[in-house]
Structures are given as structure tokens and as C-alpha cells.
Amino acid sequence: METKYIFITGGVASSLGKGIISASLGKLLQARGYKITIQKFDPYINIDPGTLNPYEHGECYVTADGMETDLDLGHYERFTGIETSRDNSVTTGRIYLSVIERERRGDYLGKTIQVVPHITDEIKRRILLNATKQDLDFVITEIGGTIGDIESQPFLEAIRQLRWELGRNAINVHLTYVPYLAAAGELKTKPTQTSVKQLQGLGIQPEVLVLRTEHHLSDELRAKVAHFCNVDVEAVIQSQDLPSIYEVPVNMQHQGLDSICLKKMGVEVGPTPGLGPWRNFLERRKKATKVVRVGLVGKYDLQDAYKSILESLAHAGTYNDYKVKTTFINSEHITSENVEKQLEGMNGIVICPGFGTRGIEGKIIAAEYTRTHDIPTFGICLGMQMMVIEFARNVLGYKDANSAEMNPDTPHNVIDMMEEQKSITQKGGTMRLGAYECELVEGSRTWDAYGEETLIKERHRHRYEFNNRYQTEYEAHGMKCVGINPAANLVEIVEIPEKKWYIGTQFHPEYSSTVLNPHPLFMDFIKACIHGATEA
């Protein structure tokens, strides 16, 4: 089959959940046995979101091949279980950079470089790139931003051209919002009509409309939208708020989002897949009503900053038949005096990743409290580093122990800059990124959690590392280095075996937990939290 392209655009407002719709459609096509990929094109000028504050853009998701990307790629992977790569996340910045590099090389000698055709050609090339490297039936391309943004214009022009060139092999699914005016008691379709008109003005006629709504949309209302937007009634789909994002694929399948897309591209629809394992997950999730409480100690009090951690905890909760109730605990407000109160009622604590000094003392105090009170604790990246510093200060007796990131002059730099990082001056895309191997120490708690596997691979995003000079001392005092990167001899995991569950990982296990394959460390951590909860 020739590769088919589905473009997902959004109108009316941002944050309507284009990423979830893209991931759901990908899931549904995958369930039909097709080879798919989902990619995101973002119209901002940063090369990648790696240098963005989470308040700007939520979590930065890291692919196995080491690209810092948009958090929607996390949804794509969690829904489909298919790894994405650097080809799946493209920004305006990357497009311009490659065009400008080519211009400097002299590839366009004599020519004026323009948005059309040079930038649009580069966008088109990147949209088609994944299918030139792998055999793919469907490529779903989500365009970031909202129709009408100045920044998205070149992307829409590229899509217009591709639709013309690819004919039936390309369609556009447009996601809009239907607001409910309480005072009038009415749902309003005008914003959707306006948004579609804008798209049409750019030469793009959407084949399918997905309408986000908080209320059920009647058949008449859908017919009205269809009529005004030149779209078939059966291709006007409603996406009403649901209790969980994981219910969206089932809802979309029920309304025929995948089958209508197939029809529009001239592909035989065939039988509807049962989505068995997916439905089992949803069933189990619904049945899991007993609660286990996990506190997230971090400095960003917004959900999106720790998206993958929250999802990983939720997956692990479901497969342990518990509901994980997470509480955000701002580490900037944790002091030795109030730590007991702040962590009260938590069955387990995650010490979150992060950068810079803000809130780190609170993380260290939390790590001390959970260690001395034997509360299950999972330190991730900076969280692991804070566990290591706490141990140095309070067990090894190095009161001034710190990370070189926080104090470059600290005499006890138990966390130090990695050797290969010392000569790096540029900030963007220069950390230790992506999946690296890690050898587990047999018999350790972590090894056990991974099902006695000895060689694992996990994704990283950091510049600093455990300082091996201190390893023997740590081990002698009970904190063991149980995961080592074989190539560079870097410590990737520490644990205190005598505690119920006190493990820190330099890598980010949260990037690889999926709905159908929960991550073993999160599974084991939640198990320990539940154990504590039921004992209490």
C-alpha cells in the first residue's frame, strides 16, 4: 500500500487535545494491523523544546535516539507503544536552520531564499522523511498551534501542496471547539465554521471534523456543522470530555474516526478491531478504587511539567489494581520544621527531576525524612542526585556535599559534571540524551524489579553524574550503586537495600512506560507503596 498521510490541525483554541486525538487515531489504525508513525510539527523558532521552561511548554519528552521533544510524543508512545525518533519532532527553528545551513554551503547559489518554496519544500521533505526510512502505511502529522496563527502559515501551505500532490493519499482532520453558553443554554458552532473558513481560505478543505465539547452534540447540530463546512455528516465527530484520556480511542472508534479516515483515502475498512488488551486496561482502571497516595516533590506546580511521571504512576497503579492519588508538594516550601506535615499521609514519594538550585534544599530535606522514616522513595534524575547529596551530608558526614551544578566550588562534589560535558559551551541539545545501556547488579532490588534482567536500556537527560570517587564510601555505608553504564562506567542507579524501597535513577524511566507495558520500576515502587498503605 502507498503511504497515506493524515494531517491533524486545530482551530478556535489551543489545548483542545490534538495530541490525544492524533495518538488515538494512531492507536486505532495500528490495531487494524497497519504500520504507522505519528509526528509533531511545531511552529515555534526554538530548535527543540529542550531549552524551554516547563511553564512555557510543559514537560520535555526525550526519544530513545536522544531528541528533546514536545510532550505530545509521550502520548504517541504511551498509546501505541511505538518508539518515536528525532524525525518525529520538527520545529520551525529546525526547518530554517537546515535551509540556512544549505544557503551558506552554497546549495542555492544565485537564488533568493524564500518562505515559498524553500521553507515549504523543507517542511514537505520532513513530513515525508519517516516514510522514506521505514515502510509505513500511515503517517499522522500533528501541526502545533491554532489556525490563524502567523507562525503556522508555512506549514499549512506545505500541507496544501502535499494534499494536491498526494491526491487521495492525504487528508486533513481538523479539531475545533464547540463552546456552551450557559446563559443562552446553547452550544455554539460559529467558531468552528469560522475556523474551517480560515482553512478553506488557505486552500485546505478538511475531510473530517472532530468537535471538542463539554456537552453532547445533537445530530442536528452535527448536521448543521457538516452543511456549513462542506463535510459529510458522518465525518463530523464529537469528542466529549471523558474521565480519562485513555478512553478517547474507544470513543473515537465507536464514532468511526478511523473508518471514516480510511474511506476518505479509499482504503477498504474491514472489520472493527476489538481493542482487547486496551479495553482490559480500561476495565481494570475502572475497578481499581482503593487508593494509594504518592507525593511528587518538585518545583513546578503544574501537571504538564511531570506528565510522563504522572502517567507512569497511573499505569502502574492500574496494573496493581489501585488508584494512585498524586499530590504535588512544592519543594520550595519544605523545611526541616514542616517536612513531616508536608509529607503527611503519603504512602510513597517521588523526588522529581529538574535543573538549577530553586527548591533543591526542600528535595534534600524530603529525601532525609523518607530515608529515616522508611517511606518508599523514588528519585528521578535530579531527584536521585538529591538522594545522593542527602546521604553524603547526613550519613557520610560531608555537611557541605553538593552537586557541582549548584555549587561549582563545593569541596565534596558527590555529584559532578560529566567529563565529556566540561568542554561544552552551548546549552541546546548538548546534555547526555537518549537511551544508554545499564548493567544491573544481580541480587539488587532494582534487578529484581526488572524481572532479573541484567542489561537494560533507559533514556537520559542530564549533564551531571554520581562522582565515582565516593562509590566505595557510599557502599560501605549502605547506599549501593546497582546500575552502571558499561561503556562509561557511570553510576545510573543507587539504592539502599535495607529500606523498603529507596531507589534513585539517573535516567528517566517515565519516558518508556506505556499503557500496555507499564514500567517495571514504577510497578515495583507502587507495589511497595501499597504494601505500606495496607500495613498502616
Annotated binding site: 14-20, 55, 72, 142, 149-151, 188-193, 224, 242, 354, 382-385, 405, 463
Interface with ligand GLN, residue 18, by CB under 6 A: no
Rounded least distance, CB 7 to ligand GLN, Å: 33
Task: Find the binder of ligand GLN among 10, 49, 298, 353 (CB under 6 A).
Answer: 353
What binding mask, one character per residue, do residues 370-399 give for ligand GLN by CB under 6 A, x or -? -----------xx-----------------
Question: 3-state secondary structure string, 124-186?
Answer: HHHHHHHHHHCCCCEEEEEECCCCCCCCCHHHHHHHHHHHHHHHHHEEEEEEEECCEECCCCE
Residues annotated within a binding site for UTP: 14, 188-193, 224
Interface with ligand GLN, residue 124, by CB under 6 A: no
Q: What nine digits make up the cell of 55?
A: 511553564
Q: How many residues touch ligand GLN (CB under 6 A)? A: 10
Contact 419, 485 (CB under 8 A): no
Q: Closer CB to ligand GLN, residue 154 or residue 353?
A: 353
Tell me phi and psi for residue 455, to 5 degrees: -125, 115
Q: Closer CB to ligand GLN, residue 126 or residue 463?
A: 463
> What is the rounded distance in angstroms from the CA atom of residue 519 to the CA atom of residue 525?
10
Q: What nine digits make up the cell of 100?
A: 540556512
Task: Find the binder of ligand GLN among 118, 463, 499, 527 (CB under 6 A).
Answer: 463
Beta-bridged to residue 6, according to DSSP, are: 140, 171
Residues annotated within a binding site for ATP: 15-20, 72, 242
Q: Closer CB to ligand GLN, residue 166 or residue 418?
A: 418
DSSP for residue 115: I
What binding mask, one character per residue, do residues 405-444 give for ligand GLN by CB under 6 A, x or -? x---------------------------------------
Residues annotated within a binding site for CTP: 14, 149-151, 188-193, 224
Tell me phi and psi for residue 502, to 5 degrees: -135, 90
> What is the rounded distance in angstroms from the CA atom of residue 377 to the CA atom of residue 486?
26
Place of cell 562534589: 413
Task: Find the binder of ligand GLN among 355, 374, 439, 478 (CB under 6 A).
Answer: 355
Interface with ligand GLN, residue 462, by CB under 6 A: yes
Contact 149, 199 (CB under 8 A): no
Rounded least distance, CB 60 to ligand GLN, Å: 9
Which range, of 6-14, 145-153, 347-355, 494-502, touches ligand GLN by CB under 6 A? Answer: 347-355
Amino acid at 227: H
Note if the bond before 518 is cis, omega within 30 degrees: no
Rounded least distance, CB 305 to ligand GLN, Å: 12
Which residue, among 503, 456, 514, 434, has the nearest Cα to 60 in the 3D structure?
Answer: 434
Q: Closer CB to ligand GLN, residue 278 or residue 306?
A: 306
Which residue, among 278, 210, 269, has the nearest Cα to 239 in the 3D structure?
Answer: 210
Task: Find the binder of ligand GLN among 41, 79, 464, 502 (CB under 6 A).
Answer: 464
- Using DSSP, how many helices (H) and how many strands (E) does the chain show? 18, 22
Q: Closer CB to ligand GLN, residue 278 or residue 474?
A: 474
Which range, of 100-108, 151-159, 352-360, 518-526, touches ligand GLN by CB under 6 A? Answer: 352-360
Catalogue the active-site residues.
Answer: 381, 508, 510
Task: Find the binder of ligand GLN among 461, 480, 519, 527 (CB under 6 A).
Answer: 461
Q: Closer CB to ligand GLN, residue 228 or residue 355?
A: 355
Query: DSSP string of 63-108?
Result: -TT--EE-THHHHHHHHH-----GGGEEEHHHHHHHHHHHHHHTTT
Query: Binding residues for ligand GLN, per CB under 6 A?
Result: 353-355, 381-382, 405, 461-464
